[in-house]
Structure 1
Amino acid sequence: MSIAQPFPLADPYAGSSLQAPRIQLPKQDLAVRLICPECRDSQPNIEEEFSSGDLVCRGCGLVLGDRIVDTRSEWRTFANEEGDDPSRVGGPTNPIYEGLDTLSTSISFRDGNTGHSRELQRASARLSNEKSQRSLTVIFEQIQSMCDQYSLPRSVSDTAKMLYRRCEEEKLLRGKQPDAIVAACLFIACRQAAVPRTFREIVELTNVPKKQIGQCYKALERAFNLTPGATAANPDLMARYCNYLALPPALQAYCSDVAGRARARDVGSGRSPVSIASGIIYFTAMLFGYSVSLKEIGATAGVSEGTIKLVYRLLWADREALVNEKWFEEGKVRWENLPSVESKESKEGKSPKDK
């Protein structure tokens, strides 16, 4: 996503037989030339004198303009300290904060009891958008604080801020709570920056109900034509869960291999990415002989043990196609390590009627 063209609105005429109305844009006349009104020469000799700031015709000496800005390169040093610093401006501008002026003018109440101060304050309040700018600044600080709390990269915070500003400019979510809009923007920004976070994590971070976040997310997804989240297991999610479970890094690569094969065979289609990732971790850990329980995986991923068992059944049914043959040749895995669904349920004390 480019900051120069952030979140363009979706085409309302896409997928329909209607055609968008054509708008005739004004064309620029490129044949306009600057001619001296005194000598009226077809090929005038007009020169810019930056020393005096004048635009002078060399044919007759008529001054055509004054206060000309010198746009040439500057090689003087304007810094207070010694050194080679020809820049006369500050740091690079941030397009996210463009238009949010930090400087403001306040009108004094002392007017000698003439009443002009109150009238000037009312006029200033009508013409300025200081209140909306202040609210945007507060929201941006809230987004940055949440990103710092979860150690999210700067790309996530910048994307969330730009998305929230675009939402305010287009008036997309009128009547919605700002906290719910912030939560939806953070969820979308995490996906855009390839740093996925689950709905449960966003709910815990923002303390906003899941239903409100989902409503705002669906509205933003339709408005900006965002790519919906994939239903397959995300490698980043599995890597995070393996780290939380203190599993070795080698197992993360094995989980990614199993996830790629499951995605190719459409195993677990329609399930949430968190459920599929949890089931693949349990399936791969059992296959390689690592000791990890369903309770530990469920507590880490925030899913129930029954959901993990259901995904495990789907993986176990297609186990021969999901396991790499090189692992058997290298002696890393054995089918005996992978418990069958029947043996799992018998160990848990379930009767045949419950199968």
Structure 2
Amino acid sequence: MTETRIHTTDEQTRAPTPETQGESEAAQQRERDESQDVCPECGGSLAADEAHGETVCEDCGLVVAEDDIDRGPEWRAFDSSERDQKSRVGSPTTNLMHDKGLSTNIGWQDKDAYGNSLSSEQRKKMQRLRTWDERFRTRDHQERNLKQALGEIERMGSALGLSESVRETASVIYRRALEEDLLPGRSIEGVASAAVYAAARQAETPRSIDKVVTVSRIDEMEFKRTYRYVVRELGLEIEPADPESYVARFASDLGLSDEAERRARDLLRTGKEAQIHVGKSPVGLAAAAVYAAPLLCNEAVTQAEVSEVTDISEVTIRKRYKELLDASEQTA
């Protein structure tokens, strides 16, 4: 019998190392991922249909996968009250509350889980629990200070029509002022008003100083002094207010047309090109623009109406109005 010998190469006899095995597994995983990203029928891109829990092809409509995990609630709600009743989780943390919304809150309804009224003895017990719960929520003077200040920020933000994100920014500014010990010698209302004004400026939705002072509980001089102090000590980067940022609100309050609002913005842009905005109040320029633009568009508006809406005197409106028209004629 002849002896048969089988000759093998080094690559055939060499055992796979962990590095080569890992590379091959990674390549296979990439192939699987690439195959999952395209349609097996037409090669088109796939998209997830969360409403039906399916993965479908955007080109041919083939359902590639179904019965995906629905991470939303298993119930439906048609209004906010129904949503609050069915939801089993709490609200997210927020800087608008002194404890960021992480503490407990005992209701005031004096009813049990079935909606039945509590007895007199149980009502007294719940009242004592509410008292102690409130004491534990504000255990020191800083927490009491923060609770009062955030209430003021919420009140002023609502009165000024500021969004929740702006109020959140104002609460962060106040917390920084409290941490850096800027409160001694200044009122809580003053620092809270300065935080609201600075947050509105940073979000490019500014409000005039007169408006802020109107809803605040301090006078104008104290507000300006506190605002300058807070901005300087915290190093807040706040750019000068753009007059155009006031136009939309003023035009809405005056009931101006879209054409007049666009014309007012054009007047302000030409005025900035002519450098007439340097050293001028942005609110005054915006008031003059919303007065001049309707007149150029044959719409009726008086200086008294603009003055009432913008809190700018009629004398200032007339001066800035002439400056804007002169700048517009020079560039025309």
- Give yes or no for contact 1:251–1:284 (8 Å, CA) kept in 2: yes
The 5 A counterparts of 1:28-67 are: none
Cα contact 1:275–1:307 (8 A) shared by 2: yes
Cα distance in 2 for residues equivalent to 1:98 and 1:232: 33
Once the 2 structures are TM-superposed, how far is the Cα of residue 283 of structure 1 from its aligned partner? 2.2
Q: Which residue of 1 aligns with 2:228?
A: 218
* Partner in structure 2 of residue 112 of structure 1: none
**1:232, distance to aligned residue in structure 2 (A):** 4.6
Q: Which residue of 1 aligns with 2:240?
A: 230
Q: Is 1:309 paired with 2:318?
A: yes
Matched position secondary structure for 1:275: helix
Is residue 268–residue 314 contact of structure 1 (8 Å, CA) maintained in 2? Answer: no
Select the residue among 258, 261, 270 that pairs with 2:270: 261
In the TM superposition, what is the alpha-carbon distance from 1:281 to its structure 2 partner?
1.8
CA distance in 1 between partners of 2:96 and 2:261 (Å): 37
Q: Note closer, same or farther for the CA distance 1:154–1:137 as it changes in structure 2 (3 Å cut).
A: same
Q: Do the aligned partners of 1:231 and 1:273 also contact (CA within 8 Å) in 2?
A: yes
TM-aligned CA deviation for residue 90 of structure 1: 5.7
Per-residue CA deviations over 1:319-350 (Å, capped at 9, x if unaligned) read: 32455xxxxxxxxxxxxxxxxxxxxxxxxxxx
Percent of matched pairs sharing the same residue: 25
Q: Which has the higher helix share?
A: 2
For residues 3-57 of structure 1, the C-alpha deviation after alignment (integer angstroms, 9 at most, x for no partner) is xxxxxxxxxxxxxxxxxxxxxxxxxxxxxxxxxxxxxxxxxxxxxxxxxxxxxxx
Alignment CA distance shift 1:144-1:227 (3 Å): same
- Preserved contact between residue 262 and residue 322 of structure 1 (Cα < 8 Å): no
Matched AA of 1:284: A
* Residue ranges of structure 2 left out of the alignment (5+ in a row): 1-72, 76-87, 106-134
**Residue 188 and residue 283 in structure 1: after superposition, are their counterparts in 2 closer, same or farther (change >3 A)?**
same
Deviation at 1:186, TM superposition (A): 0.7
2:198 counterpart letter in structure 1: I
Q: How many residues align?
A: 216
Residue in structure 1 matched with residue 144 of structure 2 by the alignment: 134
Q: Distance in 2 between matches of 1:136 and 1:218?
A: 21
Distance in 2, Cα, partners of 1:274 & 1:157: 22
Tell me, in whole angstroms, the C-alpha distance in 2 between the residues paired with 1:98 and 1:145.
15
Change (3 A) 1:223 1:299: same
Q: What amino acid does structure 2 have at the position aligned with 1:154?
A: E
Cα deviation 1:246-282 (Å, max 9, x = unaligned): 1112211121122112112212321101111111122
The 3-state SS of whatever aligns with 1:318 is: helix
Task: Find the partner of 2:250 among 241, 244, 251.
Answer: 241
* Unmatched segments (≥5 aa) in structure 1: 1-80, 105-124, 324-355
User: Which residue in the other structure is 1:343 paired with?
Assistant: none
Letter in 2 for 1:242: A
- 1:251 and 2:256 are equivalent in the alignment: no
CA drift at 1:150 = 3.1
Q: Aligned ranges for residues 174-213 of structure 1 at < 5 Å?
A: 174-213=184-223
Cα gap change, 1:231 to 1:149, in 2 (>3 Å): closer
The amino acid across from 2:94 in the alignment is: N
Structure 1 distance, partners of 2:146, 2:245, is 32
CA distance in 2, matches of 1:279, 1:289: 16
Query: Aligned pair 1:282/2:291, yes or no?
Result: yes
Contact 1:285 1:292 in 2 (8 A): yes
TM-score, L = length of structure 1: 0.55
| Distance across 2 between alignment mates of 1:292 and 1:192 | 31
Deviations 1:220-269 (A, max 9, x none): 21122223442651x23111111111111221112112211211221232
Normalising by the residue count of structure 2, what TM-score does the alignment of the two structures yield? 0.58
- Provide Cα deviations, 1:47-93, integer angstroms capped at 9, x if missing partner: xxxxxxxxxxxxxxxxxxxxxxxxxxxxxxxxxx989xxxx986543
